[in-house]
Chains A and B, each alone.
Chain A
Amino acid sequence: MSASLPDTAPASPGDETPVRRFPIAPLFLSAPAVLLFAALVLTPLFLTALLSFNQFDYATGRTGGFTLEHYLAVVTDEYYLEIFLRTFRISALATAICVVIGVPEAYILSRMTNPWRSIFLLVILAPLLVSVVVRAFGWSMLLGPEGPVNGALIALGIGRMKLLYSEGTVVVALVHVMLPFMVIPVWTSLQKLDPAVEQAALSFGASRATAIVRVVAPQILPGILSGSLIVFGLSASAFAIPGLLGGRRLKMVATVVYDQYLSDLNWPMGAAVAVILLAANLIIMLTYHRMVEGHYRRRLG
């Protein structure tokens, strides 16, 4: 854009070239984190990737050698394709719902005055203190055939409905678990806004809704972006929720990996699925990040 400016305008602020030398302090300070990351994340990841290229002998259960058959099997088998598609569909839906619920929630929270703000922030964060497994069991009791929801439906004359083991239930439960991860980054970026900017929009006669859409929302987009990435990533690799609420038939990628490892004992196959999930997740998230953030980098800095 700056290229089209007339000559009278000074050049756009260019990046300064840093002095090239090897500062020791940053290396030293980041060493513990790098070591921890290498030992606990990269090593298992590397081993998993290696494992995924091993052959597997069903008769003996032995692994070894080199093959691409697991990857070929995943890519060509419609069973796996369906599971991957379902996983990303459910994650995308959960992310979208988290945006729709979480962003207004964060906005309202940021407009509250103090005793209430602290109380509601606590309410939003409290679920994080309860194990996901416990919450998944809670949902399954709530939605089970004899649970209170079905009880109410019967009492209303609508009749019993099959709520558990459906995609909808998994999405709802995921949203419940992931919501704080959306609210917190959005709330953080709302904290950074100058309230006068929204007031300026109002002073020009904008309605509250217009002010939010045209002025507030674009400024908190980075927060929404990071919230979405966290929610999508966690949802796509979620295990406890689909495992407990999706049942045996409604599988997601993480539950398939689990099955391969522990039921079929086909570790290389499980590893291959896991590696593909990681790769797909990375590609989707990076694309999304580029699309949205590239658009706003120059404006918001």
Chain B
Amino acid sequence: MSKIQISKNEIRPARIMIYNCDVLGWRPNYYRMTFVCLILVLLLIGANGAAKSDEEDDDEITFRDFSLYIGDRIELEDYQIELIEIQSIRDGLVVMRVSKVGGSLDEQRALLLDRPNNFDRGADNGGITITIAEIFDEQSARVRLEYKEKLGTPRKRSSDRPQTAPEKPDLWVDKSFDKSEMNVGDESKVTITIKNNGTGPAVGIEVQDIPPLPQFTYIAGYPPKIKETLDPGQSDSAVYMVNAAKEGTVSIPSVLIRYADRKGNSLSNRSEPFSIVILPRSRADLNINAEDNITLALEEEGRLNITILNSGSASATKIEVTGDVRPGEGLEAVGLDKSFFEIAPGDAAAFSASIHGQKPGDYAIRLKANYNDGEGLAIREATARVTVLEREYKYHYLLAIIPIAIISFWIYRRHREYKY
């Protein structure tokens, strides 16, 4: 195990700088902007002198930037420089290992971003100076190597070790209701599921679930509890019960989770927001359908068919149907009163009453259904009209005409007999 040291060397102003574009990833950041400006100024001031010194002095210090992945090495004469780990992007800490063939140097050190670190007393004194110029991500960084030209040309050796996946947690969060449509008064189960789809464990998991009030009231299980730590591939869920309180379309805010990786890097994620429709409270709604405009002959027996349909969204219970005939005399109806225990939504109950016309006329049969619609007592009414026809005297009138004719003839004859 190598000891990690943090060097506190001062920044040494560079005299000659060669900008090596091919190692730069195009990622804007503050450091890089500063650096580009600096190079441009120096190029303008010292272009002439640089050319001169190349020719004059072999001991000149030069530098070169390398983009390194973890495990990649730079070889310069006997020096071997390896990127071990990006310890913290936030803090700008990168662990480098510098060793020398023969074993005179073997040091592992945590380097702070933009701070030159001297090894073997630094480039000024024939050693090397390493600066972490930029941290690209968890796996790679740009490293600047300063050295005396006489040491030769540094070469990059890619890691021969297989690239190990970085330990990065990636939490996915989901919030769901067990129904996307509900009625006021309905209970719903809300499930919050978190899954670690990443490669490293997530720690310090916190869930922020803003309750969608006032459309819901919370019954049990709130706030949701989720494990504080989830290893890669693990998942956890929490359930709580809500009760829809107000109708309307409710947009359910997303759940926010905060967590950190093992290195203490804070991460967060949120679920997709969605909306839920809360319909009015479900009730039973009965419709009485009775055959209307029934025509009966006098003394005829007929049937009145009655259907009770529940077009509501809840069951109707304790259904009591009663009926009465107006006017009260002349039409006899048997079987108008009926009761049912329950009519499920969408279902219908049917029955029929027998009616018997005793007197010609127009009658109204008024049907009334009392029931519990789920909320309370409800009443529905319907009317069926029945007409009892006059007795048809189709040919009977002939029977009346004959005596009338006889009487008329008789009276006429008598009249003639006495008329003088």
A and B are partners in one complex rather than unrelated chains = no
Residues of B whose CB lies within 8 Å of any CB of A are none
Binding site for B on A (CB under 8 A): none
